[in-house]
């Protein structure tokens, strides 16, 4: 069965398929996974699911990003709000290390718009693991939740 195209980025020609939407819903609605990771397929035509992880600490999540490839990941982020209450929010991490080729960076950047429309969440951009600091991500969520 051919996957249904849900969204397509006109600039890059990269398609977001129903496989990605299903994985997103498994994190957001069903809480089956702590996070899912997406990448551009080897044929550079669509965004595919690379990994689905049921349980993970923030540190394990940080370490999961490759140094040699761009990725997107939807993560169910648990935190405490300013009143100390437990909360959670979906974040969309746009991972694009400085070490990858310019063509790959451009493709990742131009494809991100279609993915953001399909998988909404607080967007966190990172090019190295230090930019995925828990406190800074929480602060960004708190700013957007006001």
Two structure tokens written together for 50: 């690379």
Number of domains in the chain: 1
How do residues 61-104 score in pLDDT, each as one tens digit? Answer: 999 999 999 999 999 999 999 899 999 999 999 999 999 999 98
User: Of 110, 32, 125, nearest to 73 (Cα)?
Assistant: 125
pLDDT at 11: 54
pTM for the structure as a whole? 0.88
Say which CATH number the domain at 90 has: 3.40.20.10
Residue predicted with more confidence, 84 or 12: 84
How do residues 100-134 score in pLDDT, each as one tens digit? Answer: 999 989 989 989 988 999 999 999 999 999 999 99
Q: Which domain holds residue 17?
A: 5-144
């Amino acid at each position: 069965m051919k996957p249904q195209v849900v969204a397509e980025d006109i600039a890059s020609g990269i398609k977001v398929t129903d496989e990605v939407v299903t994985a997103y819903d498994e994190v957001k609605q069903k809480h089956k996974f702590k996070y899912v990771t997406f990448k551009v397929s080897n044929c550079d035509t669509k965004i595919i699911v690379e990994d689905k992880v049921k349980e993970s600490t923030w540190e394990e999540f940080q370490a999961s990003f490759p140094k040699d490839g761009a990725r997107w990941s939807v993560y169910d982020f648990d935190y405490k709000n300013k009143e100390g209450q437990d909360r959670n929010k979906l974040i969309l991490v746009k991972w694009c290390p400085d070490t990858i080729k310019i063509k790959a960076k451009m493709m990742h950047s131009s494809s991100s718009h279609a993915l953001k429309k399909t998988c909404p969440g607080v967007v966190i951009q990172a090019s190295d693991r230090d930019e995925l600091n828990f406190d800074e991500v929480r602060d960004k969520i708190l700013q957007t939740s006001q």
